[in-house]
């Protein structure tokens, strides 16, 4: 049996090639697995579980079909789908995880998270995150009509876009001391996250212990999957339709 991890698909009606690759993955590959973990930024932006568009409905149906077939499916919110909530999960059978969750991957304790919380040098983002994560603000926002929420989101996105362009690339990566602090806090030596779009398997020693941090890739040019079973842990790619690129990076 296998366990699959994905993140940073940024699904949107504007990028049908990504959606097609995801649909092929969830229909043909995910049903063979025992579990699928989606570690955030599944959507380019998720304005709320009241999204009634055909696009949102299609994605919900794909998850529902997967969980109905017996595959466990877990979701961690990303910085682009922090408004995905209980209703989506009830409709799809997906289980919502805490921002940081310890799971068991074939006998190994692993901490799974989106990864944004590890970027402690990106102080402007973290301040913004704290604002939009306030329960009262989300409570109010979630009660607005969907079209009003879409207007607010696109206004805020417009204001933020410029800000990211002026950021140094290093502040948008994880802070190693924070990685180590969090791993110590959760008592794990394996961490799996996305967000930075820098797929890699990092090995390092912290307090004399061998640690591994696996970073999932985005789906901008191909599908990206972390494939795990009892023998192997591998970052793999899935080609978009019409492209033949495919490769993997082995952990063990
Ligand atoms: O995903 P990526 O890599 O492109 O960028 C992220 C960070 N950006 C974001 C922004 C979101 O994608 C867009 C959010 C729109 C939200 C609308 C919410 C409406 C209200 C909801 C209320 C419940 O996540 C980016 C990081 C980058 O990752 C790191 O890789 O740097 O962060 C930013 O660019 C954030 C800016 O630095 C923050 C600037 C503050 C501007 C204040 C605007 C007003 C806020 C009003 C809040 C209600
Ligand atoms: Mn992200």
pLDDT tens for 194-222 read 999 999 999 999 989 999 999 999 999 99
Q: How far is the CA of 128 from the centre of ligand 1 (A)?
A: 6
Q: How far is the CA of 61 from the centre of ligand 1 (A)?
A: 28
| Ligand (nearest to CA of 174) | 1
Cβ-proximal residues to 71 (8 Å cutoff; 6+ apart), any chain: 30, 31, 33, 34, 35, 36
Residue 80 annotated as part of some ligand binding site: yes
| Ligand (nearest to CA of 122) | 1
Does 157 sit in the ligand 1 pocket, CB within 6 Å? yes
Does 128 sit in the ligand 1 pocket, CB within 6 Å? yes
Does 153 sit in the ligand 1 pocket, CB within 6 Å? yes
Does 164 sit in the ligand 1 pocket, CB within 6 Å? yes
CATH code for the domain of 49: 3.60.21.10
**Ligand 1 atom at shortest distance from the alpha carbon of 167:** 31
* Nearest-angstrom CA–CA distance, 107 and 116: 26
Angle at 173 between CA 169 and CA 176, to 5 degrees: 135
What is the domain count for the chain? Answer: 1
Ligand 1: which of 9, 82, 125 to mutate, most ligand atoms within 8 Å of CB?
125
Report DSSP letters for 153-215, one per residue: HHHHHHHHHHHHHTS-GGGGSPPHHHHHHHHHHTT-SEEEE-SS---EEEEEEETTEEEEEEE
Looking at residue 244, its pLDDT comes to: 54
Looking at residue 252, its pLDDT comes to: 47
Whole-structure pTM value: 0.95
| Ligand (nearest to CA of 133) | 1
Cβ-proximal residues to 167 (8 Å cutoff; 6+ apart), any chain: 122, 124
pLDDT tens over the chain, length 252 residues: 999 999 999 999 999 999 999 999 999 999 999 999 999 999 999 999 999 999 999 999 999 999 999 999 999 999 999 999 999 999 999 999 999 999 999 999 999 999 999 999 999 999 999 999 999 999 999 999 999 999 999 999 999 887 778 888 888 899 999 999 999 999 999 999 999 999 999 999 998 999 999 999 999 999 999 999 999 999 999 999 876 555 566 654
Looking at residue 207, its pLDDT comes to: 85
Does 241 sit in the ligand 1 pocket, CB within 6 Å? no
Domain encompassing residue 119: 3-250
Residue 10 annotated as part of some ligand binding site: yes
């Amino acid at each position: 049996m296998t366990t699959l991890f994905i993140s940073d698909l940024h699904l949107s009606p504007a990028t049908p090639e990504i959606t097609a690759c995801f649909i092929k993955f969830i229909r043909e590959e995910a049903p063979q697995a025992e579990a699928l973990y989606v570690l955030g930024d599944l959507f380019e932006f998720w304005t709320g579980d009241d999204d009634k568009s055909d696009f949102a409905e299609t994605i919900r149906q794909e998850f529902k079909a997967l969980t109905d077939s017996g595959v466990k499916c877990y979701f961690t919110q990303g910085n682009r789908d922090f408004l995905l909530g209980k209703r989506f999960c009830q409709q799809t059978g997906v289980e919502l995880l805490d921002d940081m969750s310890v799971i068991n991957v074939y006998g190994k304790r692993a901490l799974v998270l989106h990864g944004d919380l590890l970027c402690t040098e990106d102080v402007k983002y973290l301040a913004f995150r704290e604002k939009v994560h306030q329960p009262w603000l989300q409570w109010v926002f979630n009660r607005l009509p969907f079209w009003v929420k879409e207007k607010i989101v696109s206004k805020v996105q417009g204001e933020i876009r410029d800000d990211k362009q002026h950021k140094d690339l290093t502040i948008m990566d994880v802070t190693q001391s924070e990685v180590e602090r969090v791993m110590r806090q959760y008592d794990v030596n394996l961490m799996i996250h996305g967000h930075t779009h820098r797929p890699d398997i990092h090995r390092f020693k912290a307090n004399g212990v061998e640690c591994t941090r696996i970073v999932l890739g985005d789906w901008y040019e191909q599908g990206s999957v972390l494939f795990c079973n009892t023998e192997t842990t591998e970052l793999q790619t899935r080609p978009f339709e019409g492209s033949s690129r495919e490769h993997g990076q082995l952990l063990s």
